[in-house]
């Protein structure tokens, strides 16, 4: 704590601007790494390692880590700490600009709150991603895993290829500075066998986008703008969807039934 108080004012401002809340609880860091399931030979990308609490736990289980830190101060500290250590490569860069590896890899990170959605989108777009274990705001993790009983367009769109689930909760006391909210692990796992073929997935994404357009206050009304009323009624019935049901309440499994029925 005394070291943080002695940081130059300019660096403290940078920390706030980059939405940095550093993990200080080694037990929580071990829990995140265990939840990731990464193996000794697996390539792991860490986003925003900061002071390296999570980095240390990753290196205890795997020997191939690439860490990307946007804050020059911490990037330099980590480079000096791990100088000559072949298990890890440190990069001073914004992870959102990083090109995804062309080999299978996992992502493990205590995510900067302000750019969580950007990083989730990056992970979902990376074709060689096997999994992403992300410590996010609790509300974000619950929202994108369907824990509120509602589902986001992002989760529904990628469900045929990537399963999304809520992991353990981690209290705000595990961080410095202490954030105003609790956090939870959001786990993304690429399916070994997609639920739809590649050609089906393109059509599925178009139907999902149409459904989330929000025309008329229900999924059925949105679908009727491009599908015959009778087809929409039959597909909704097959999927157990009420014709006045808002789109956010439709879980991914019912979306798949709806899509397959509409597609015939």
For residue 159, how many other CB atoms are within 10 A of its CB?
Answer: 23
Helix (H) or strand (E) holding 123: helix 116-125
d(CA 262, CA 211): 13
Q: What pLDDT is attached to residue 137?
A: 96
Contact 128, 100 (CB under 8 A): yes
- pTM score over 0.75: yes
pLDDT at 3: 34
If one counts every other C-beta atom within 10 angstroms of the C-beta of residue 258, the result is 26
2-190 folds as Rossmann fold (3.40.50)
User: What pLDDT shows up at residue 19?
Assistant: 55
Instruction: Note the pLDDT of residue 217.
Output: 81
At 168, is the secondary structure helix, strand, or coil?
strand
Distance CA 174, CA 28 (A): 7
84's enclosing H/E stretch is none
Torsion, Cα 121 123 127 132, to 10 degrees, reads -150
CB proximity list for 264: less than 8 A, separation 6 or greater: none
Angle at 128 between CA 125 and CA 129, to 5 degrees: 70
- For the chain (264 residues), the mean pLDDT of every run of 10, in chain order, is 38 49 95 97 96 96 96 95 96 97 98 94 97 97 97 98 98 92 97 96 97 87 95 98 95 98 94
The predicted pLDDT at position 215 comes to 79
Rounded Cα distance, 20 and 260, in Å: 44
Going by C-alpha positions, the residue among 3, 92, 17 that lies closest to residue 49 is 92
Cβ within 8 Å of residue 71, ≥6 positions away: 14, 15, 18, 20, 48, 50
Q: Is domain 198-263 in CATH 1.10.8, yes or no?
A: yes
> What pLDDT, on a 0 to 100 scale, did the predictor assign at position 214?
80
Coil, strand or helix: which one is 45?
Answer: strand
Nearest to 53 by CA among 173, 164, 175, 172: 175
Q: Is 194 left (phi over 0), alpha (psi -120 to 50) or beta?
A: beta
pLDDT of residue 216: 73
Domain boundaries, the chain: 2-190, 198-263
């Amino acid at each position: 704590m005394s070291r943080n108080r002695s940081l130059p004012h300019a660096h403290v401002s940078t920390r706030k601007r980059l939405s940095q809340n550093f993990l200080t609880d080694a037990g929580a860091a071990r829990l995140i790494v265990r939840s990731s399931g990464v193996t000794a030979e697996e390539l792991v990308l860490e986003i925003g390692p900061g002071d390296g609490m999570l980095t240390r736990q990753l290196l205890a289980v795997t020997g191939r880590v690439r860490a990307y830190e946007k804050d020059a101060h911490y990037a330099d500290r980590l480079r000096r700490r791990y100088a000559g250590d072949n298990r890890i490569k440190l990069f001073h860069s914004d992870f959102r600009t990083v090109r995804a590896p062309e080999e299978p890899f996992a992502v493990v990170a205590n995510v900067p709150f302000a750019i969580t959605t950007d990083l989730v989108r990056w992970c979902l777009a990376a074709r060689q991603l096997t999994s992403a274990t992300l410590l996010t705001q609790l509300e974000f993790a619950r929202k994108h895993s369907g824990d509120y009983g509602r589902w986001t367009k992002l989760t529904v769109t990628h469900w045929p290829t990537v399963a999304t689930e809520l992991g353990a909760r981690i209290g705000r006391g595990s961080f410095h500075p202490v954030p105003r909210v609790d956090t939870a692990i959001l786990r993304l796992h690429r399916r070994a066998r997609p639920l739809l073929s590649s050609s089906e997935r393109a059509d599925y994404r178009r139907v999902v986008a149409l459904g989330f357009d929000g025309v008329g206050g229900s999924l059925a009304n949105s679908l009727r703008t491009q599908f015959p009323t009778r087809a929409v009624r039959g597909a909704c019935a097959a999927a157990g969807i009420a014709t006045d049901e808002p789109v956010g309440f439709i879980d991914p499994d019912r979306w798949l039934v709806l899509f397959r029925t509409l597609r015939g």
